Amino acid sequence: MENSPEAAGPDNGPVTPVVRASDADRERVAVALQAAFAEGRLTMPELQERLGAAYAARTEADLAPIVHDLRTYAPQPGESAGAAPTSTRDVGIVAGFQRKGRWIVGRAFNGLAVIGNGEIDLREARFLDGETTIHATAIIGDITVVVPEDAEVHIGGTGIIGGFDHHGEGPGTPGAPRITVTGFVFCGSVHVKRRAVTAESPSRKLERSQRRLERKRQQRVRKQ
């Protein structure tokens, strides 16, 4: 039986065992890299290069350099990868609000429009858990929720002299985010619209890169 590989310690001191990286270790680093990309700390080429290195890593020592300059995002034992929602709510009172572009959405997001309008655009958002619930409250106002064309969408809520538009409801494609829209409307409305991204957004590029790397990882696992 072969001995476990070991790394020599400093000054010929005690050796440090080499610890093999698990799939969970690689995934935590991958999520940390994605969070860094979402905050603009990494470019798309850098993200792709580091993701490839993360999934190819054999030991924990191989993983450490990949996030050495992103310590804010480095996962700690028993903790999440460090990513957090960009925002959990937006409010417009006698005014409007707009949440769009590249942002991180958590398990829930609250939008309130009182005598005003609001827009929550999820097309370029990164979903921390692959799904989210949008709690939309419109009082003498309107809220529009823009979702990716391939998303799975469920719509509910309570409306008095107004309500929720269900035209955007429907199933999604495998791997697409799951979005639930609910809340309360009085003298207003909540619209859910499916729209395509005119140009491939960074989040779409990221998703495509993730799927490609995941296929490579699965192929590697099957060969082992």
- Domain spans, the chain: 6-82, 89-195
The yes-or-no verdict on residue 144 having pLDDT over 60 is yes
Distance between the two ends of the chain, CA-based, in angstroms?
A: 19
In terms of pLDDT, which residue wins out, 82 or 110? 110
The yes-or-no verdict on residue 85 having pLDDT over 90 is no
Q: How far apart are CA 9 and CA 67, in angstroms?
A: 23
Q: How far apart are CA 106 and CA 128, in angstroms?
A: 5
Three-state DSSP at 48 gives helix
The yes-or-no verdict on residue 154 having pLDDT over 90 is yes
Q: How far apart are CA 28 and CA 13, in angstroms?
A: 31
Question: What are the backbone angles phi and psi of residue 58, rounded to the nearest 5°?
Answer: -105, -25
The yes-or-no verdict on residue 88 having pLDDT over 50 is yes
In terms of pLDDT, which residue wins out, 87 or 148? 148
